[in-house]
Amino acid sequence: MTAAGDNQRTVALLWGEAITPTRGPKPTLSAARIARTAIDIADTEGLAAVSMQRVAASFEYTTMSLYRYVGGKAALVELMVDIALESPPAPDASADWRARLETWAQAGLERYRRHPWLLGAATAEHRVMGPHELSWLEAALDALSGTPLTVPEKHDAFLVINGHVRNVAQELAHSGGDAEWNATMSGILDRHGDRFPTLTAALSSGEHHTVGADSLQFGLACILDGLAAQIARRQR
Amino acid sequence: MTAAGDNQRTVALLWGEAITPTRGPKPTLSAARIARTAIDIADTEGLAAVSMQRVAASFEYTTMSLYRYVGGKAALVELMVDIALESPPAPDASADWRARLETWAQAGLERYRRHPWLLGAATAEHRVMGPHELSWLEAALDALSGTPLTVPEKHDAFLVINGHVRNVAQELAHSGGDAEWNATMSGILDRHGDRFPTLTAALSSGEHHTVGADSLQFGLACILDGLAAQIARRQR
DNA sequence: CTCTACTGTATGCGAGGTACACAGTTAGGG
DNA sequence: CCCTAACTGTGTACCTCGCATACAGTAGAG
């Protein structure tokens, strides 16, 4: 299968290991430029609007010319992800693990808000991680380096926090303005509410659930409290 | 836009509100049968393998015949999701909230493991929720009904736990057997490990991070500990 | 018996990803 | 100095997919 070769080429691109040829015409484009243009499109029109033809048209180039640089659509998306994740939160050695993880989570949420398509792009398979994506992992592990947690536990902690950030971002991406969805769902609950007593009671309680910045805080506080308990248990 | 009409029709399908015609030939297929076949395909070959033509071919039917039943691909996927979520965890009123949430999370994880494509299908947009999906939410809220948390907090708690389950499922779906990925990533760390000191140290520590059932437990314990702390604070 | 609503089919369009062959361009080797 | 190999961008073509539309066959209602 050609997947191995493709993977090889994608890894080389992501990690800057590609060999630059000397002969022939100078390339006028670059993988990074293509990816950045694709990111612009995805930011404003969504990931679905990113097609080879669309990106090529932004340069007034032919569709096929892109294949000289990025190998395929999958590779392009992986590049987009890694470039969108550049400049991860800088480790601040003076803060304790909790504060560092909080800023980490906040930075992650902001990144997801700036590039909502990241949520859909990272979903697919076990992607090869690029340098920037790895840096985020590195930063999270580094924040926990002073704690007595084991390596797998640190990894698990990263998993939990990252998952929470992703989830809040997903919720934020859809909240607000979706009046039609609200109407549809409340119509459904009007007709079938008897099957969901707790839910109906919750919705009619008047305390509406507005997704906002505090959505991150509540869950994050839970997770970090639990983590602190683990750490305290370990230190005894 | 036709989106409203489509939505209407999808809602009717999901919630069994469709009117069944009396005249004309009896339908030989049904939306549910089509969705179940699509689920079988997605279970074994992934969501990407589910196309109208592929599903229709399973019945030895024409592609277009499916449109008599499901309205479109998006509607089919929504049906698939809701059917895959049928029989949510039964509420056990005798257990306390923590035990109930633990079984809820466990059941969710098993569901995601049986239908890994659920992870990719639920990602897209703010989908209309079907009866089964709503039942999962109902069950989670019901588990928390005895606690002094506010309605938004219960909702947030659901969000955190659900996100964690999804994340663990995602990790599990890709772990193991992916020897090529492992080789690729360790090759990368061999060449660029100096940029990721904490990560390299973690990997060379010998404590390998094997994703398993305990991955759910660690994070879940953190979250539930934090939730318990919130509840205790509220009860004082 | 006929009309009408309904089912399944046949055909075709447009969009998207990509393989392939080709023309134009440039650096290094003889 | 030029020629050849390597490389870039292009044109064409093919496949798959979602879906619109028009059509033929079928069966209940009156």
The residue with greater pLDDT, B4 or B32, is B32
Supply the pLDDT for residue B42.
97
Supply the pLDDT for residue A213.
67
Mean pLDDT for the stretch of residues B73-95: 94
CA-based nearest residue in chain A for residue B16: A192
CB contact under 8 Å between A222 and B157, yes or no, is yes
Determine the distance in angstroms separating the CA of A194 from the nearest CA of chain B, rounded to an integer.
12
Determine the distance in angstroms separating the CA of A91 from the nearest CA of chain B, rounded to an integer.
12
Supply the pLDDT for residue A201.
94
Nearest DNA or RNA nucleotide to A55 (CA to C1')? C16
Supply the pLDDT for residue B124.
61
Supply the pLDDT for residue B50.
98
| pLDDT of B186 over the 70 cut | yes
| pLDDT of A88 over the 90 cut | yes
Residues 6+ apart with CB under 8 A from B93: none
| pLDDT of B63 over the 70 cut | yes
Supply the pLDDT for residue B3.
45
Confidence of residue A2 (pLDDT cuts 50, 70, 90): very low
Supply the pLDDT for residue A3.
45
User: What's chain A look like in SS3?
Assistant: CCHHHHHHHHHHHHCCCCCCCCCCCCCCCCHHHHHHHHHHHHHHHCHHHCCHHHHHHHCCCCHHHHHHHHCCHHHHHHHHHHHHCCCCCCCCCCCCHHHHHHHHHHHHHHHHHHCCHHHHHCCCCCCCCCHHHHHHHHHHHHHCCCCCCCHHHHHHHHHHHHHHHHHHHHHHHHCCCCHHHHHHHHHHHHHHHHHCHHHHHHHCCCCCCCCCHHHHHHHHHHHHHHHHHHHHHHHC
| pLDDT of B4 over the 80 cut | no
Supply the pLDDT for residue B182.
83
Q: Convert the pLDDT of each residue in B90-140 to its tens digit.
A: 888 899 999 999 999 999 999 999 999 999 887 666 788 999 999 999 999
Mutate to test the interface with A, among B199, B200, B207, B215 (most CBs of A within 10 A): B199
Q: Which residues of B touch A221 (CB under 8 A)?
A: 226, 230
Supply the pLDDT for residue A147.
96
Residue B147, chain A, CB below 8 Å: the answer is no
Nearest DNA or RNA nucleotide to B75 (CA to C1')? D18
Mean pLDDT for the stretch of residues A24-52: 96
Distance CA B14, CA B59 (A): 22
**Coil/strand/helix, residue B27:** coil
Mean pLDDT for the stretch of residues B158-185: 86
Distance CA B38, CA B70 (A): 12
Backbone angles phi, psi at A170, to 5 degrees: -60, -45
Supply the pLDDT for residue A211.
72
Supply the pLDDT for residue B66.
97
Determine the distance in angstroms separating the CA of B48 from the nearest CA of chain A, rounded to an integer.
10
Q: For chain B, what percent of residues have pLDDT higher than 90?
A: 73
Interface of B with A in 34-93 (CB under 8 A): none
Q: Convert the pLDDT of each residue in A136-190 to its tens digit.
A: 999 999 999 999 999 999 999 999 999 999 999 988 888 766 788 888 999 999 9
Does domain B3-84 fall into CATH 1.10.10.60?
A: yes
**Minimum-distance CB partner of B159 among A152, A167, A198:** A167
**Coil/strand/helix, residue B183:** helix
Supply the pLDDT for residue A210.
73
Mean pLDDT for the stretch of residues B39-64: 96
Supply the pLDDT for residue A126.
72
Distance CA A104, CA A89 (A): 6
| pLDDT of B213 over the 70 cut | no
CATH class as words, domain A97-175+210-235: mainly alpha
Supply the pLDDT for residue A173.
86
Indicate the average pLDDT of chain A: 91
- Strand C-proximal protein residues, Cβ less than 7 Å: A 2, 22-26, 50-54, 63-64, 67, 72-74; B 21, 23-29, 61-65, 68-69
Report chain C positions within 7 A of protein CB atoms: 4-12, 15-21, 24-28
Q: Which residues of A touch B12 (CB under 8 A)?
A: none
Residue A135, chain B, CB below 8 Å: the answer is yes
| pLDDT of A92 over the 90 cut | no
Q: Convert the pLDDT of each residue in A49-75 to its tens digit.
A: 999 999 999 999 999 999 999 999 999
Mean pLDDT for the stretch of residues B161-170: 93
CB contact under 8 Å between B129 and A185, yes or no, is yes
Q: Would you kindly state where each structural domain of chain A is located, as residue ranges?
A: 3-84, 97-175+210-235
Supply the pLDDT for residue A1.
38
Supply the pLDDT for residue A200.
95
- DSSP letter at B166 equals H
Region of poorest pLDDT, from A142-146, A214-218, B61-65, B222-226: A214-218
Mean pLDDT for the stretch of residues A127-141: 95
CB contact under 8 Å between B15 and A192, yes or no, is yes
Supply the pLDDT for residue A144.
96
Interface of B with A in 112-131 (CB under 8 A): 119-120, 123-126, 128-129, 131
- How many CA atoms lie less than 13 Å away from B205 in the CB half-sphere? 17
